[in-house]
Copies of this chain bind each other. A is one copy, B any other.
Amino acid sequence: MNALADEATRLLQSAARDAREAAHVLSVAPRPQKDAALLAAAAALRARIAEVLEANAQDLAAATGLTPAFRDRLALTPARVEAMAKGIEEVAALPDPVGRVLAEWTRPNGLVMRRVAQPIGVVGMIYESRPNVTADAGALCLKAGSAVILRGGSESLRSALAIHACMAQGLREAGLPDACVSVAPTADRGFVAAMLRAAGLIDLIVPRGGKGLVTRVMEEARVPVLAHAEGLCHSYVHAAADHAMARSLVANAKMRRTGVCGATETLLIDAAIAPALLPAIVADLRALGCDFRADERARAVCPDLPAATEEDFRTEWLDAILSVKVVEGVDDALDHIRRYGSEHTEAIVTQDEAAARRFLDRLGSAVGMWNASTQFCDGGEFGFGAEIGIATGRLHARGPVGLEQLCTYRYQVLGTGQTRP
**Inter-chain contact B419/A248, CB cutoff 8 Å:** yes
Q: CB-nearest residue of chain B relative to A407? A: B394
The answer to whether B410 and A398 touch across the interface, beta carbons within 8 angstroms, is yes
Is A100 interfacial (CB-CB < 8 Å)?
Answer: no
B370 and A419 contacting across the interface, CB-CB below 8 Å: no
Chain B nearest CB, measured from A195 CB (Å): 16
Give Cα A100 to B399, complex, Å.
17
Segment with Cβ contacts to B, from A105-113, A127-135, A172-180, A278-286: A105-113
| Chain B residue, CB-CB nearest to A120 | B394
Q: Contacts A28-B362, A361-B28, A394-B121 hold; do A376 and B420 have CB atoms under 8 A apart?
A: yes
Contact with B along A91-116 (1 / 0, CB 8 A): 00000000100000101000101000
Say yes or no for A363: interface residue by CB 8 A criterion: yes
Closest to A113 in B: B382
Which of A27, A105, A409 is packed against the most chain B CB atoms within 10 Å?
A409
Contact A24-B224, Cβ < 8 Å, known A395-B396, A408-B395 = no
Collect the chain B residues with CB atoms within 8 Å of residue A365's CB. Answer: 410
Main SS of the interface on chain A? mixed
Quick check: A416 and B111 within 8 Å, CB to CB?
no
With an 8 A cutoff between CB atoms, is A52 at the interface? no
* Residues in chain B near residue A362, CB distance under 8 A: 28
A113–chain B nearest beta-carbon distance, Å: 6
A99 and B369 CA atoms in complex are apart in Å by 16
> Chain A: how many interface residues by the 8 Å CB criterion?
65
Out of B24, B105, B199, B411, which one reaches A218, CB within 8 Å?
B199
C-alpha gap A378/B251 in the complex (Å): 52
Are B398 and A368 in touch, CB under 8 angstroms? no
Residues in A400-417 with C-beta less than 8 Å from chain B: 408-417
Known: A252-B420, A393-B224, A408-B394. A413 touches B107 (CB 8 A): no
**A33 — which chain B residues lie within 8 A by C-beta?**
none
Answer yes or no: A381 CB below 8 A from chain B CBs. Answer: yes
Instruction: Say whether A371 contacts B420, CB under 8 Å.
Output: no
Q: Look across to chain B and name the residue whose beta carbon is closest to the beta carbon of A256.
A: B420
**Contact at A245–B376, with CB atoms within 8 Å?**
no
B199 touches A366 (CB 8 A): no
Q: A383 an interface residue at 8 Å Cβ cutoff?
A: yes
Q: Which B residue sits closest to A262, measured CB to CB?
A: B420
Given contacts A120-B394, A372-B111, contact A367 B410 (CB under 8 A): yes
In the complex, what distance in Å separates the CA atom of A219 from the CA atom of B218?
15
Of A365, A414, A415, A420, most B-chain CB atoms within 10 Å? A420
CB-CB under 8 A for A370 and B412, given A120-B394, A203-B394:
yes
A9 at the interface (CB under 8 A from B): no
Contact yes or no, A410 B120, CB < 8 A: no
- Residues 346-399 of A contacting B (Cβ, < 8 Å): 360-373, 375-376, 378, 381-383, 393-396, 398-399
- B245, B375, B417: which contacts A417 (Cβ < 8 A)? B245
Say whether A249 contacts B419, CB under 8 Å.
Answer: yes
Q: Which residue of B lies closest to A260 (CB)?
A: B420
For A2, the chain B residues whose CB sits under 8 A away are none
Cβ < 8 Å to B, chain A residues 237-280:
242, 245, 248-249, 251-252, 256
Which residues of A179-225 have CB atoms within 8 Å of chain B's CB atoms?
199, 203-204, 218-219, 222, 224
How far is A226 from B382 in the complex, measured between Cα atoms in Å?
Answer: 28
Q: With contacts A105-B383, A410-B398, A411-B398 known, is A419 near B252, CB below 8 A? A: yes
Compute how far the CA of A412 lies from the CA of B363 in the bound complex, rounded to whole angstroms. Answer: 10
Q: Once bound together, how far apart are the Cα atoms of A411 and B249, in whole Å?
A: 19
Q: Which residue from chain B places its CB closest to the CB of A27 in the assembled complex?
A: B364
Known: A199-B219, A369-B414, A372-B417. 8 other contacts (CB 8 A): A24-B338, A28-B361, A111-B381, A248-B417, A360-B412, A367-B411, A368-B411, A395-B396
Q: Which 4 A-B pairs have the closest CB atoms?
A: A372-B415, A252-B419, A396-B396, A245-B417
